[in-house]
Amino acid sequence: MAHYMNSAMNQYRQTGVAAATVETDPVKLIAMLLGGAIDRLAFARGAMLRKEREAKHHDLRAAMSIIEHLRLVLDLKAGGELAANLARLYDYMLGRLPAANLADDPAGLDEVIALLREIKGGWDAMPATARRH
């Protein structure tokens, strides 16, 4: 768990998500990472609409980095079918975002934002004793 926490915290800091003290609470960290990815995609969408290519690429890269990290730290053995479904969703997102970027397709970003919001909503609604990523 310590390695996961250090890795997740480094990812959290590297992507520029607003600072908070979550080192001792992996549940809050996952929720904040999901929120950070959603925020970055919203920023990228705005940049896309304003034709600000550099800002769009920066925020898309940050969001994809967070999603990739969330995918990599899934415990597929302990998480069973839920973790496998999350892995497939994260893989889909990581394929969808580059396509949306190339096509300057805000609907593609909206789709991934909606998926992340659904995951975050489910995560936030779980009882504390059932939360595991």
Mean pLDDT by 10 residues, the chain (133 residues): 47 48 66 96 98 97 97 90 95 97 97 97 74 50
Contacts 24+ apart (CB under 8 A), 107-114: 109/41, 109/44, 109/45, 109/48, 110/45, 112/41, 112/63, 113/38, 113/41, 113/42, 113/45
Q: What is the pLDDT of residue 57?
A: 96
Could you give the domains of the chain? 2-130 (1.20.120.340)
Residue 130's Cβ-count burial label (10 Å; 0-12, 13-18, 19+) is exposed
Q: What is the pLDDT of residue 123?
A: 82
CA 1, chain centre distance (Å): 19
Q: What is the pLDDT of residue 34?
A: 96
Question: Angle at the Cα of 47 (from 54 to 91), degrees rounded to 5?
Answer: 85
Q: What is the pLDDT of residue 129?
A: 62
Q: What is the pLDDT of residue 124?
A: 84
Q: What is the pLDDT of residue 18?
A: 42
Q: What is the pLDDT of residue 127?
A: 66
Q: What is the pLDDT of residue 91?
A: 97
Distance CA 126, CA 67 (A): 20
Inter-residue contact 56 to 48 (CB < 8 Å): yes
